[in-house]
Chains A and B, each alone.
Chain A
Amino acid sequence: MPGEVGVWVLVLGEMSMFGVFFAIFMDARAGDRELFARSQQHLNITIGLVNTIILLASSLFVVQAVQAVRASGFGRASKFFTLGLLCGLGFMGGKVLEYSEKLHAGISPATDAFYMYYYVLTGIHALHVAVGMCVLAFLRKMTRNPARHPKTTTVEACASYWHMVDILWIVLFPLLYLI
């Protein structure tokens, strides 16, 4: 098993929690389809798409970092973790840009039900991205220190958390922007 059992309990627990959020969102959408469709038109699909590509790239870098750790290439792993971290920063930058664009146009969580869900769901996800970035920064630091190289299982467990952040966005992007 990649990583440790505890991490998979956390990952599946978080995924289940988001599953409930998706159901609540879809239930609210079913109650007022016209409003949700109208509000969705003001979302910037390009930013959402670029953010999806950024997170997919970050996941690739993290996989490559794990593979480098397994081959004892800690220097290479550190570079991949740096790239993953930069992708995380890029995602957060996109989110800040999107939020400021919306707030500038007078669109806030109080605007309507769609935007309340939009801010809450993307906000909780961004919080997970921030935690994931702290995890990547920790791995970057550990792989740069020749005296304290991390255990492979620790790296795998942390990587699984980062991939979960990617997985949640893979559902959130079409849920909010496309369907």
Chain B
Amino acid sequence: MDRPVPAALSHLSSRLRAVTPGQLVRLVFVGLLLLTAGSSWFAESESARGVATTAFIMTVVAAKLHLVGMHFMELRHAPFALKLAFHGWIVVVWGLIVGFS
């Protein structure tokens, strides 16, 4: 059964749809800066370099790679196989770095 979408959510969704490609890449850039600053601050504040710290930092890295791939490299318009290969690489790199930690 369809549920009615709350007015605030519907408004947000229509605002997001109205974002131009130029505005979207600038938003993504700000997101990338925040993730970079946040993970660097976290790494510097953590004196212990355990697997959990590495896993957290690498998860932020994976999010950044996803954003660059989908929005800067425009993989969101690419065939599924290419998206899969790109994201497969991210998963493998995450697994290698966290696994060896």
Residues of A within 8 A of B (CB): 1-2, 8, 12, 15-16, 19, 22-23, 26-27, 29-30, 37, 45, 49, 52-53, 56-57, 59-60, 62-64, 67, 156, 159-160, 163-164, 166-167, 170-171, 174-175, 177-179
A170 contacts which of B21, B40, B68, B89 (Cβ < 8 Å)? Answer: B68
CB distance A163 to B73 under 8 Å? Answer: yes
CB distance B77 to A1 under 8 Å? Answer: yes
A67: which B residues are within 8 A, CB to CB? 21-22, 25
Residue B19 at the chain A interface, CB threshold 8 Å:
no
In angstroms, Cα B100 to Cα A26, docked, is 6
A160 contacts which of B73, B89, B92, B93 (Cβ < 8 Å)? Answer: B73
Residues of B within 8 A of A (CB): 21-22, 25-26, 29, 32-33, 36-37, 39-40, 43-44, 49, 53-54, 57-58, 61, 64-65, 68-69, 71-75, 77-79, 82, 85-86, 89, 92-93, 96-97, 99-101
A59: which B residues are within 8 A, CB to CB? 29, 68, 72
B36 contacts which of A1, A12, A49, A163 (Cβ < 8 Å)? Answer: A49
Question: Taking chain B's interface residues, is the majority helix, strand, or loop, or is none over half, making it mixed?
Answer: helix
CB distance A167 to B65 under 8 Å? Answer: yes
| Chain A residue, CB-CB nearest to B92 | A19
Q: How far is the CB of B75 from chain A (nearest CB, A)?
A: 7
